[in-house]
Structure 1
């Protein structure tokens, strides 16, 4: 039979001791907000109170899996699109500044998912409002010199119903380059600072504060300090789990922020990108309800290094450092023998940190199920079976560590995956770190190069390939380090562009660089020497969708290090395929959408993604002088409806048909008109106005 998650639910002999982070993490300070008494000029993006259907959706979902703490709310039609033109700007000593606030009534905390394009030298500062209506900066995001930053991301969560955004630009001419679009609002039923009141009533009454366990000598303070609370977003909800900060012996004073948690909590990059880590979320003393003054949060998300269902484990690397005083847990890959005393710390239901103790009862392979019907399950292979003596696992406990004492130190041996129901003498199952370890040796046991130094006459190893076949794939918008090791060395990078637009690439640094951009068949080429700062190259060029190669070399016999930057601004107003389609959606039963388009008639297509929440009539058509053709397709690409001319006189297409709720794609193309008129008129492109009307029948 299956068991539920805590949310209701071969000896390698490896050993690494734990270690404290002795010094503050190196982080950029959060700037203070410029805010003055301009409250009336804040752009207010206020959502309505939760609908009954939203509350029901949150409450009726499966009780198994990671602990759900919030719901994602759709954006009203009036709030869709770029908010930059709606902002009110003020001058300040560093440029211009504007403000927007996002509100979801009755939320204990709130965050927002945004699509942004930031001009160079611009900055967003996210802030919350306290009970005195004071604005307190939470985090910031800035664009680097000479490039645009394009990014979809989640803001940090703010306590209460509101989160604010301060937008700073260097000059007013940059306003037209700014884009901020609100995609979703995360309405959470948990506070960011632990003030949740009776909402946090635990199912079990046999929990004890972690500080009590430390005082009683049943769990080490180190084990407690390595345990963290994790909150994040998936496609529809906000969740929480526990996790453990792990130590890796990479040398003295090297502290990489690796966090281990359950695979059923976080398993993909989309979830990890929204991760918030809550450090030292524990009581000041035994049985106290006061949160420790050391409590802090880090934002910025994480990368998924490895995730496996067999052990139900995920290894994350945080984008930001652990705070001062965080403990990096030691670990062992030795087997856990039957009858061994074990313990751990966790955040059941997200409350202040608790502890548990128990006894290992050997190995057991079990079915772990998301649903009470045991139809949606996975197999936890050779899990560590533990009977708890003190404490109990509940929602939010998933991902917490199982520790045993080795050589006088508590070290990690497993990660909490599932439990049988009940509170007293609860049976719990932990993923076995011993079995997960072989899959993470790249990070936990890197190969150490102990060979003799290279002969000085031996050419240095090249950091990037010299040909398109060996090119380094370039991440658009990210900085990539490189080095011209020898005279004549060439570094080649590959980049793929999916839209028409302007591509900008350049280097920074003291090395005199030359740059060249070309495509695979050499039908396109641009090069530059010193158009950038100093002796750096900079190329800005209009390009079509495709794969391009960027070649970096040193001018004459120049060698040295450089930083390569790239940015892209789309000039095609709408995407050419389903992946890059312009999204159109609303939770309303009936709604309209109106947008202009410009199409290159011979080789362009504009694609729109239309999502309906209800069984509706979809009516789509264009207006204007351009002869258009419309094709409406299902999500799988199958043609649903197609139309060329609505009438003999009207060259615009018109489609109107009833469909079930779902996602549909509209393809708009243009046609050249046959005419005997003077052909000097430019017919390369045509403008149109797209109309979308959704009505529930």
Structure 2
């Protein structure tokens, strides 16, 4: 039985349910992992009587986009219960937890399994590339910046230290512009606005980082009027272009562009004649300088000769299409890891849930920067590796849903990609039952950031120096078979499969293995999926019985919104109304237009109000469940004005 401590308990310092519901004002914008025993002891739970079995961080569901920290605690009588904190010094009551939309964890769930879902065809399908306005209209960039020189001796020392500590592999460093490139309407710090034939205006600059193999541009501010767009492209080959970008990812205030494989990046902002140029707000303050080519990451010197090309194992072709390489931006620069696209048990949806390691993507700011490279693999057994810029890529970041670190849990993070996975990607199956000692295993990964490889092993429990810190209760130890592959830097976060069923049972933390390691070190540690599952069960195994209600909370009665502006529509839901909602606009009871066919039921959606709408004070918005359109709510009447 799950126990919660109520507000009347004298030993707890709690915040009121009203405060908790007020957008979780005390919660953090990032996952927090305070020293668990010390926090509990400060609230009266002595170390001698209470032990923390696991701690984690998860996103609230009250519309605040904040995180709470959970603790699974064992008491002196052997009973277990869960406590939740704001990550600092407050512990929430049962009422607070409910107000925050945190679901009760089911630690005694019966085993659940899901088999993989293959794509219709495994093909390298690339998204349509934007055509830069400056290229199509023959307008050259009118300003720019050269990034500073890099202290390579320092970079080498940092990379060596990072590898020794088991941190994710770095492929690029962060460089600040000498002075940020700022656009505040007509006021620009570099470059200038140029008229565009056919209407509108264009601002563009070049950013050069000599000898960079790839660059990502950081917009610390990006706010555009309706119809305006930002595109980044290769200054030497405009066919490599990314965007268009219209603003930051959901819930964020900044934006990282996709990687452009060049030393010279052009950034352009186009504003149509119908938009107000003075509403443009852009600040570019830094960029990454990627210095390691894929497949030749620092310290690893390329994937080892003992690694096996996944394309040589045709029975794993469909499953391998669900494994992707991850590029992200952390405090030290551009990072590289591996992850996997997971299926859920609701056959009516294809939500892009993505599993990797917490030490690869441990914060929402890092999650917002990720890009996933799909199908970065040879087209035939031991064939040539493709150019990374030629494979499908999902950009736009992700929403961090739940995570644990290596010290307090299983070193996992579950993300929901903000954009869809490539149409050639598979959704992978998984199993929440414990995999026993001796279970044959497989890992598919990107060793050293190279093209995809495969390794074969077995679950073991061999005494080894890392075993105490990665106990069997939270981690699988996989020992690799002789001459059948290992893992390397860049493989972190990659999935561990049951060989016979091709179901995910964990994600890679790391270990001592590498090509040429003695037999005693030919093993790695994977956070156990079955231990993590109660924390992500609500996403991967949703209750498909649709019931509950919706309440539209914005727009409010009497509010006035101007045409051509962006405004947020907000709602709350109770029960299980499904993963998606539909949003429609009505006037005086008559249907006007569909605003969004389906969007995530996360409580908010940004609406760019069309200029074509007629001014009136009797509009309302309807939000309805996609799974059951009899579940809906109408907003109060509001005004749309010129």
- Sort the Cα spacing of 1:26 and 1:319 in 2 relative to 1 into closer, same or farther, 3 A: farther
- Sort the Cα spacing of 1:44 and 1:280 in 2 relative to 1 into closer, same or farther, 3 A: same
Q: Deviations over 1:629-653 (max 9, x none)?
A: xxxxxxxxxxxxxxxxxxxxxxxxx
Residue correspondence of structure 1 range 133-172 to structure 2 within 5 A: 133-142=237-246, 151-171=253-273
CA distance in 1, matches of 2:470, 2:493: 16
**Contact 2:171–2:334 at 8 Å: present in 1 too?**
yes
Paired position in structure 1 for 2:480: 388
Structure 2 length as normaliser, TM-score?
Answer: 0.64
Shift of 1:78: 6.9
Where in structure 2 are there 5+ consecutive unaligned residues? 1-107, 557-564, 574-582, 590-610, 624-631
Pick the structure with more strand per residue: 1
1:418 counterpart = 2:516? no
What SS does structure 1 have at the residue aligned with 2:530?
Answer: helix
Paired position in structure 2 for 1:68: 170
Paired position in structure 1 for 2:231: 125
Structure 1 length as normaliser, TM-score?
Answer: 0.59
**Contact 1:21–1:255 at 8 Å: present in 2 too?**
no
Q: Deviations over 1:279-333 (max 9, x none)?
A: 0000121222232897211100001111012111111110111111211111111
Paired position in structure 1 for 2:356: 261
Shift of 1:101: 1.9
What SS does structure 2 have at the residue aligned with 1:417?
Answer: strand
Shift of 1:483: 11
1:355 counterpart = 2:493? no
Paired position in structure 2 for 1:659: none
Paired position in structure 2 for 1:284: 379
Shift of 1:477: 6.2
Shift of 1:335: 1.9
**Residue of structure 1 aligned with 2:196, choices 75, 80, 91:** 91
Residue correspondence of structure 1 range 587-626 to structure 2 within 5 A: none
Paired position in structure 2 for 1:533: 613
CA distance in 2, matches of 1:93, 1:200: 52
Residue correspondence of structure 1 range 418-437 to structure 2 within 5 A: 418-423=510-515, 424=517, 425=519, 426-437=522-533
CA distance in 1, matches of 2:486, 2:278: 56
Paired position in structure 1 for 2:545: 449
Where in structure 1 are there 5+ consecutive unaligned residues? 1-9, 370-376, 452-459, 469-475, 485-506, 514-530, 540-550, 567-697
Residue correspondence of structure 1 range 458-607 to structure 2 within 5 A: 461-464=549-552, 479-480=568-569, 509-512=585-588, 533-534=613-614, 537=617
- Sort the Cα spacing of 1:117 and 1:418 in 2 relative to 1 into closer, same or farther, 3 A: same
CA distance in 1, matches of 2:195, 2:260: 24
**Structure with the greater alpha carbon radius of gyration:** 1
Paired position in structure 1 for 2:212: 107
Shift of 1:165: 1.8
Q: Deviations over 1:320-351 (max 9, x none)?
A: 11111211111111221222211121001100
1:19 counterpart = 2:117? yes
Shift of 1:249: 1.9
CA distance in 2, matches of 1:366, 1:49: 41
**Contact 2:148–2:177 at 8 Å: present in 1 too?**
no
What SS does structure 2 have at the residue aligned with 1:479?
Answer: strand
What SS does structure 2 have at the residue aligned with 1:71?
Answer: strand
**Contact 1:200–1:351 at 8 Å: present in 2 too?**
no
**Residue of structure 2 aligned with 1:333, choices 432, 449, 469:** 432
Shift of 1:420: 2.1
Paired position in structure 1 for 2:391: 295
CA distance in 2, matches of 1:482, 1:534: 25
**Contact 1:345–1:356 at 8 Å: present in 2 too?**
yes
Residue correspondence of structure 1 range 622-661 to structure 2 within 5 A: none
CA distance in 1, matches of 2:414, 2:510: 18
Shift of 1:479: 3.5
**Residue of structure 1 aligned with 2:276, choices 174, 192, 200:** 174
1:44 counterpart = 2:144? yes
CA distance in 1, matches of 2:252, 2:434: 47
